[in-house]
Amino acid sequence: MKFMKIAAAAATSIALLAGSAQAEDKPVVGLIMKSLANEFFQNMLEGAKEHEKKRGDYELRAVGMQNETDFESQINAVENFITQGVDAIVIAPADSRAMVRPLKRAMEAGIVVINFDVSLDAEAKKQQGVELAFVGPDNRGGAKLAGDALGELLGAGSKVVIIEGNPGADNANERRLGFEASVEDYKLDLVDSRTAHWETEEANTVFSNILTAHPDIQGVMAANDSMAIGVVKALESAGRKDITVVGFDNIPAVGPMIKDGRMLATVDQFGQDMAANSIDLALDVIAGGPQLEGWVKTPIELVTNK
């Protein structure tokens, strides 16, 4: 897949070239996101573009990746931004360890770096001697909100399953840990926990099979809404209305499902605003504001039909 990475890197550099018609004195902010094939980041980019128009006092250069784990392209993008001398880099890292070193170089070059969405690894930061705040939602806390809603409804001893995101992805891990915390708090019975790689069709298949193996389950916690949709469809095909589903992300497609009760709840982490908020923070620092520290939590909210 080297080929695709090179292609992505080439695409990245073209995007950067196109954006280099420098506006006079406006500060330049480089926004590096993960896969734009993911609705979540796509929405985030839209939000950031609107934000640039609304504020009008900075120039945005945005870069997206080929897929969720393509950190090589992200490293290239950081290096390109350093070369161009941007004022700030706002980044959603594709790998919480691999991105530490290139970002350190950016900071050494005097660029304000804001890390959002997924936190860089604390251990790696310590090793490299990097102090960098994290701006982002509490994935674990969000998942726990959804899990708690399920636990509240079903009560102790109920049988539940978790449909996980990509194994190894930080947000997938955090969400799973949040669900597991709910399982513990509400004394639920976790009968199975499997990945469906964030994907609807796979979630549909995997969950159908879990349902066959454990027909007595009462609740499902899906680590994103795409997978929750697959679960809901599997329940419909099996004619089961007695199983409660919660998801995460609040994508538009689950709106009707929450409304008519096919899903109990999802979690909105206001992804559309996240990049924009991070850019605001970066511009504050550029303007002479204090350096950020620790974890700047962005809002999350449980969405139900109430």
Partner 1 sequence: MARQTDVLSESRSNEFSLRALINKAGIGLALLALIIFFSVFTEHFLNANNITNILTQITINLILAVGMTFVILIGGIDLSVGSVMAFAAVVAGKAITLPGFGTTEVILLACLAAITAGFVCGLLNGVISSYWALPSFIITLGMLNIARGAALQVSEAQTIYSFPFAFEEFGSAMIYGIPVVFLVALVLVLLAWFILNRTVFGRLLYGIGNNEEAVRLAGHPVFWYKVAAFTICGLTAGIAAIVYMARLNISSPIAGIGFELNAIAAVIIGGTSLSGGRGSVIGTLIGAFIIGVLANGLILIGLSDFMRQMITGVVIIIAVVLDHYRAKFAAK
- Contacting positions for partner 1 (CB under 8 A): 3-4, 7, 36-39, 42, 167, 192, 194-195, 198-201, 204-206, 208-210, 212-213, 215, 226, 229-230, 233, 236-238, 251-253, 256
Cβ-based nearer residue to partner 1, 151 or 230: 230
Cβ-based nearer residue to partner 1, 5 or 101: 5
Q: How far apart are CA 222 and CA 236, in angstroms?
A: 16
What residue ranges in the chain does DSSP mark as E strands? 28-35, 59-65, 88-91, 112-116, 134-136, 159-164, 189-195, 219-222, 244-246, 266-268, 295-297, 301-303
Cβ-based nearer residue to partner 1, 35 or 115: 35
Cβ-based nearer residue to partner 1, 4 or 14: 4
Cβ-based nearer residue to partner 1, 26 or 233: 233
What are the residues whose beta carbons fall under 8 Å from the beta carbon of 290, sequence distance 6 or more?
Answer: none
- Contact in structure between 244 and 154 (CB atoms under 8 Å): yes
- Contact in structure between 79 and 20 (CB atoms under 8 Å): no
What is the closest distance, in whole angstroms, from the C-beta atom of residue 142 to partner 1 in the complex?
20
What is the closest distance, in whole angstroms, from the C-beta atom of residue 171 to partner 1 in the complex?
16
What is the closest distance, in whole angstroms, from the C-beta atom of residue 92 to partner 1 in the complex?
15
What is the closest distance, in whole angstroms, from the C-beta atom of residue 197 to partner 1 in the complex?
8
What is the closest distance, in whole angstroms, from the C-beta atom of residue 68 to partner 1 in the complex?
10
CB count in 10 Å sphere of residue 17: 11
